[in-house]
């Protein structure tokens, strides 16, 4: 239990360091030209802003004293010109920065997405998908604000601060000191509140991610939610999480409000001190009214700049937190890595083997496979059977190398799967999951998922082989019919046949099939059976079998128990052995038998 607080401390330290923001620099490099133009515009616009008090001071001291109307007109026109130029400069700068920020954020989002989709399935069992989507949206939105507003605001306010102080010092060094007397208080407040804000903001972002994850889960499990009539429970759960978001956000708002109150008061107290001290000198005749007004303007600029910088400090802390989380995700190394120099696979024959494989899902978890050896010759159909939790799905997911084995060897055509390129290995293996989920899109797009360049004829041929063509043809838009999110607009049997058609189009040498446990109506069942029958022709097949017809068809049945191979042989041989298989047969298969 000592590790957790240490982790938390490390996390806090890591978030406090601005290093994560530095990682944005390489992304900005391609936009250097645009950023340079924006920076020049920003400096010039700030300069124009700084000229304004000078002109007003001049106006008061010369035009008014001399009662010169012409001079007033000229000064007003000059001011208009200054503001017009400033307007144009602001436009260019805001436009360039926003466009760059949009591009950079989109690029980073894409990079993060590209990184996440190639991480091993194990990563997604540890992290909730809703949390990841929240990182992609909320944290990147913070970084976008950083790029298009906060950085330019920081530069602008720094220019106002430095420019203001320099110009003040030229006018009256003593009054400058009075103005700056309050600065240490503001800086101290910024540091204290900034830290608190960063922590509070991380809390808010984490709570938002949790609430998003929960909603995401409820939507994806909507049938379960509704069939158990748990809608109000889910609403309460979501409400409770939103309550936490509100509590955390209100705490952050309280901090921000206190900060603004304190900093506002201190800054204007400084301005008041300047007014009081300067006013006395105007009365004494050692300072002109124009110089005092000019001075007050600069004092306002400085106060506003210090205040803005202080609040920007808080925003930067939030952005550091967001960048930290984003780059931490980007740095997650895939557990299953592409070999440095993959062996070329050539034409795949389809010999599949596990030799002495021991496997566990995590270093602290118990072994779920113990010294498993299993061989399938090219074209052979091997059925895996065993009680629930025996390790069948685990074996099936080791072949496409979704996980690596700590002991033993998994091979394709005699080559260790760890030595092959993931693209070639996975290209050689077709997987039909137990409950195939399709992508929202059309039937054609779903079948062509394995080969997006496939022609309609190829898609139809695959659908025919999978006995899906007949039902697709009867749909209102045929192959262009949208299937709905995850294929919800199709029946279970239709989804299965589309998933089988997809594998036909891929035409792999090895098929890994997790047979559906849920029973379909007999017509649908017959069609799926027929489709599978065709799919297995000439391919090495590993089937997680749940049906008697499947085990009968298999060349070999491998019986697993608690992660060990306990029996192996044909259906008839195993029945004759009267061991675990015979027992399973009595209990599992007989009732599942379907009329063919």
Ligand X SMILES: Nc1ncnc2c1ncn2[C@@H]1O[C@H](COP(=O)(O)OP(=O)(O)OP(=O)(O)O)[C@@H](O)[C@H]1O
Angle 514-519-523 (CA atoms, 0-180°, nearest 5)?
110
Q: How far is the CB of 513 from ligand X (least distance, A)?
A: 13
* Lookup result for tokens 């891929």: 506
Rounded to the nearest whole angstrom, what is the least distance from the CB of residue 328 to ligand X in the complex?
22
Query: Quick one: which segment of 223-231, 296-304, 381-389, 533-541 binds ligand X (CB under 6 A)?
Result: 381-389
Under the binding rule (CB under 6 A), the answer on residue 386 touching ligand X is yes
Three-state DSSP class for 542? Answer: strand
Instruction: Tokens 């997987």: give the residue.
Output: 431
Binding mask 70-109 for ligand X (x = CB under 6 A): ----------------------------------------
Q: How far is the CB of 483 from ligand X (least distance, A)?
A: 25
Q: Residue 393 Cβ, how far from ligand X at the closest point, in Å?
A: 3
Is 446 among the residues that bind ligand X (CB under 6 A)? no
Owner of token pair 């950023």: 35
The residue within the footprint of ligand X, chosen from 64, 113, 265, 361 (CB under 6 A), is 361
Q: Concatenated DSSP letters for 98-148? A: HHHHHHHHHHHHHHHHHHHHTS-HHHHHHS-HHHHHHIIIIIHHHHHHIII
Q: How far is the CB of 368 from ligand X (least distance, A)?
A: 4
Residue nearer to ligand X on the CB measure, 6 or 365? 365
Least distance in angstroms from the C-beta of 530 to ligand X: 24
Question: Nearest distance from residue 518's CB to ligand X, in Å?
Answer: 13
Residue carrying the six token digits 């607080």: 5
In three-state secondary structure terms, 408 is strand
Contact mark string toward ligand X, 249..278, x via CB under 6 A:
------------------------------
Tokens (6 digits) for 19: 């290093």
Q: Closest distance between ligand X and the C-beta of residue 565, in Å?
A: 12
CA distance 174 to 311: 28
Scan for tokens 């530069």, then name that residue: 155
SS3 annotation, 273-305:
HHHHHHHHHHHHCCCCHHHHHHHHHHHHHHHHH
Q: How far is the CB of 376 from ligand X (least distance, A)?
A: 17
- Under the criterion CB under 6 A, does residue 224 sit at the interface with ligand X? no
- Residue 125 or 332 with smaller CB distance to ligand X: 125
How long, in residues, is the chain? Answer: 596
Alpha carbon distance 472, 468 (integer Å): 6
Sole binder of ligand X in the list 3, 283, 333, 365 (CB under 6 A): 365
Q: Which residue has the tokens 């400033």?
A: 86
Q: Which is nearer to ligand X, 117 or 365 (CB)?
A: 365
Binding mask 108-137 for ligand X (x = CB under 6 A): -----------------x------------
What distances in angstroms separate CA 447 from CA 9, 165, 459, 531, one per listed residue?
A: 49, 68, 7, 14
For ligand X, the closer of residues 49 and 436 by Cβ is 436
Closer residue to ligand X (CB): 25 or 365: 365
Dihedrals phi, psi of 566, to nearest 5 degrees: -110, -25
Which CB sits closer to ligand X, 30 or 389?
389
Residue 433 or 482: the one with the smaller Cβ distance to ligand X is: 433
Q: Which two three-digit tokens encode residue 340? A: 């440095």
Query: How far apart are the C-alpha atoms of 584 and 301, rounded to whole Å?
Result: 83
Q: How far is the CB of 126 from ligand X (least distance, A)?
A: 9
Binding mask 387-426 for ligand X (x = CB under 6 A): -xxxxxxx--------------------------------
H-helix or E-strand containing 352?
Answer: strand 352-359
Indicate the residue among 131 and 277 with the shorter CB distance to ligand X. Answer: 131
Q: Does 368 bind ligand X (CB under 6 A)?
A: yes
Q: Tokens 């072949």 map to which residue? A: 399
Q: By the 8 A CB rule, do 489 and 498 touch?
A: no
For the CA atoms of 244, 108, 420, 511, the dihedral, rounded to the nearest 10 degrees, stands at 60
> Minimum distance between the CB of residue 516 and ligand X, rounded to whole angstroms?
12
Nearer to ligand X, 125 or 522 (CB): 125
Nearer to ligand X, 122 or 264 (CB): 122
518 lines the binding site for ligand X (CB under 6 A)? no
Size of the site for ligand X (CB under 6 A): 12
Instruction: Compare residues 390 and 405 and give the one whose CB is closer to ligand X.
Output: 390
Query: Considering beta carbons, is residue 103 or 564 the nearer one to ligand X?
Result: 564
Rounded-to-10 torsion of CA 187, 191, 192, 196 = 140
CB of 550 to ligand X, least distance (A): 14
For 265, 345, 398, the CA distances from 341, given in Å and listed in that order, are 65, 12, 21
Find residue 369's DSSP bridge partners.
359
Contacts for 210 with CB less than 8 Å, ≥ 6 apart: 131, 241, 244
Residues that bind ligand X (CB under 6 A): 125, 361, 365, 368, 386, 388-394
């Amino acid at each position: 239990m000592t590790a957790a607080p240490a982790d938390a401390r490390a996390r806090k330290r890591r978030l406090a360091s601005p290093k994560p923001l530095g990682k944005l620099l390489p992304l900005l490099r391609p936009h250097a030209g645009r950023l340079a133009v924006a920076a020049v515009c920003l400096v010039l616009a700030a300069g124009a802003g700084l000229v304004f008090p000078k002109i007003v001071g001049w106006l008061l001291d010369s035009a008014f004293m001399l009662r010169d109307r012409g001079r007033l007109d000229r000064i007003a026109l000059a001011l208009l010109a200054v503001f017009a130029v400033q307007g144009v400069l602001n436009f260019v700068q805001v436009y360039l920065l926003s466009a760059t920020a949009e591009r950079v954020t989109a690029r980073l989002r894409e990079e993060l997405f590209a990184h996440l989709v190639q991480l091993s399935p194990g990563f997604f069992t540890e992290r909730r998908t809703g949390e990841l989507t929240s990182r992609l949206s909320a944290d990147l939105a913070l970084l976008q604000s950083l790029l298009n507003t906060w950085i330019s605001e920081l530069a602008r306010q720094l220019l106002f601060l430095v420019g203001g102080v320099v110009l003040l010092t030229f006018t009256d060094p003593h009054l400058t000191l009075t103005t700056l007397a309050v600065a240490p208080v503001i800086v101290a407040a910024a540091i204290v509140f900034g830290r608190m804000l960063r922590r509070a903001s991380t809390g808010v972002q984490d709570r938002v991610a949790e609430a998003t994850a929960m909603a995401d889960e409820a939507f994806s499990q909507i049938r379960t939610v509704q069939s158990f009539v748990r809608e109000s429970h889910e609403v309460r759960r979501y409400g409770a999480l939103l309550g936490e978001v509100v509590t955390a956000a209100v705490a952050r708002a309280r901090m921000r409000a206190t900060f603004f109150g304190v900093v506002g008061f201190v800054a204007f107290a400084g301005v008041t001190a300047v007014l009081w001290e300067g006013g006395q000198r105007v009365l004494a005749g050692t300072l002109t009214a124009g110089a005092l007004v000019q001075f007050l303007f600069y004092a306002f600029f400085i106060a506003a700049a210090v205040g803005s910088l202080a609040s920007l400090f808080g925003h930067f802390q939030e952005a550091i937190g967001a960048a930290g989380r984003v780059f931490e995700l980007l740095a997650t190394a895939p557990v299953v890595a592409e070999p440095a120099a993959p062996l070329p696979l050539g034409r795949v024959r389809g010999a599949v083997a596990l030799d002495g494989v021991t496997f566990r899902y995590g270093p602290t978890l118990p072994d779920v496979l113990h010294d498993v050896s299993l061989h399938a010759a090219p074209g052979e159909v091997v059925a895996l059977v065993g009680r629930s939790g025996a390790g069948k799905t685990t074996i099936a997911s080791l072949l496409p190398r979704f996980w690596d084995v700590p002991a033993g060897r998994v091979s394709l055509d005699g080559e260790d799967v760890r030595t092959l390129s993931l693209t070639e290995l996975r290209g050689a293996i077709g997987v039909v999951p137990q409950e195939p989920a399709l992508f929202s899109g059309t039937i054609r797009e779903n079948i062509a998922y394995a080969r997006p360049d496939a022609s309609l004829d190829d898609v139809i041929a695959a659908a025919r082989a999978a006995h899906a063509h007949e039902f697709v043809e009867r749909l209102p838009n045929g192959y262009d019919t949208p299937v709905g999110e995850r294929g919800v607009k199709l029946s279970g049997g239709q989804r299965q046949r589309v998933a089988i058609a997809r594998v036909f189009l891929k035409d792999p040498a090895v098929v890994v099939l997790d047979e559906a446990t849920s029973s379909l109506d007999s017509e649908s069942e017959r069609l799926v059976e027929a489709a599978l029958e065709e799919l297995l022709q000439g391919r090495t097949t590993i089937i997680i079998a749940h049906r008697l017809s499947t085990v009968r068809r298999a060349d070999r049945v491998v019986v697993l128990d608690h992660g060990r191979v306990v029996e192996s042989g044909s259906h008839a041989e195993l029945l004759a052995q009267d061991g675990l298989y015979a027992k399973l047969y009595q209990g599992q298969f007989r009732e599942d038998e379907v009329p063919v």
